[in-house]
Amino acid sequence: MRICALPPLAPTYRGRLAPSPTGFLHLGHARTFWIAQQRARAAGGRLRLRNDDLDAARCRPEFAAAQIEDLRWLGLEWDEPVVSQSERLPLYRAALVRLHAVGAIYACTRSRRDVQAAAGAPHDGDEEPLFPPRFRPPADARFPPPVAPVTTNWRFRVTDGETLTFMDGREGPQTAVAGRDFGDFIVWRKDDVPSYQLACVVDDNDLGITEVVRGADLKLSTFRQLLLYRALGLPAPAFYHCALVTDERGVRLAKRNDALALRTLRAAGRTPAQIAAEGGWIA
Ligand code: GLU
């Protein structure tokens, strides 16, 4: 009898576009999402659109609708349906409970102001100031499990001095040191909202994402997310961080930068092909 050994099946590439509906998309988003699509196509894979709409105070449905319209105009295509994070809270809560069960998080009563005052200026290039280790509860402190609605911040305890690495698809090996480059970070806010870090990890895993393509400004977040994957016992995807688009003064584009919003460019008569050609994106 001949036994025919089949080669192991390579997982199908699955990527995602994950805008937050807090403003209009600009050239920087367009470039990142364009690259995400190119990478998915080159791998013969699939792409999902994830609407990162957890922060009710900052997200607006009209921005979510505008993003879809702008992305379609740009020529981006994704597999339906669109996933909205606001509809997936039970999944994030289950992950929070799991993090508590494995002792990875603690309830933190320090306010943002406390942390800012102690940390001085926000950490270089990163929005979250380094959490002072002296604000941390002792390692053996026990906390009752988080129950809904959550009314205190829950923070992930990092191991100070631990070196973390990952292989970036564009930039090669990346390293950060926990406690130096970033500190204990929030996984659930006291206004009962999951943090971007936690929701992103849960979704990327749940949607079977094999490669995360996003802007280089989120590289430090990738290290935090790697810690969450590990604590939750989940496999991490591959990562590819795109270079950031800057304005003529070399400043990174922000959503308030309306001059380079896709809608402004579109209204001024620019076509997606021109925008891609001028930006020198991979065609
Ligand atoms: N929604 C996040 C943002 O717009 C990006 C999330 C991600 O790609 O991981 O900054």
Q: Distance, CA 141 to ligand 1 centroid (Å)?
A: 33
Whether the CB-CB separation of 262 and 26 falls below 8 Å is answered with yes
pLDDT in tens, 29-66: 999 999 999 999 999 999 999 999 999 999 999 999 99
Six token digits for residue 141: 């402190």
Six token digits for residue 105: 């998080």
pLDDT, residue 123, reads: 46
pLDDT, residue 50, reads: 98
Q: 178 Cβ partners below 8 Å, 6+ apart?
A: 158, 159, 160, 161, 162, 163, 164, 223, 227
pLDDT, residue 279, reads: 75
Residue from 82, 75, 24 nearest 48 by CA: 82
Provide DSSP, 191-224: TS-B-HHHHHHHHHHHTT-SEEEEEGGGHHHHHH
pLDDT, residue 9, reads: 67
Q: Spell out which residues line ligand 1, taking CB within 6 angstroms.
A: 18-20, 52, 200, 214, 218
pLDDT, residue 183, reads: 95
Q: Distance, CA 48 to ligand 1 centroid (Å)?
A: 13
The C-alpha angle 235, 238, 241, rounded to 5 degrees, equals: 140
Q: Where are the alpha helices (DSSP H) in 51-176?
A: 61-74, 89-101, 112-119
pLDDT in tens, 114-123: 887 776 554 4
pLDDT, residue 245, reads: 80
pTM, to two decimals = 0.91
Q: Distance, CA 53 to ligand 1 centroid (Å)?
A: 10
Task: List, in order of start, the domains of the chain with CATH numbers.
Answer: 1-86+246-283 (3.40.50.620), 88-206 (3.40.50.620)
Ligand 1 atom closest to the CA of 22, numbered from 1 = 4
Six token digits for residue 5: 């050994």
Three-state secondary structure call for residue 260: helix
pLDDT, residue 118, reads: 74
Q: Which residues of the chain have pLDDT under 50?
A: 122-124, 283
Ligand 1 atom closest to the CA of 16, numbered from 1 = 8
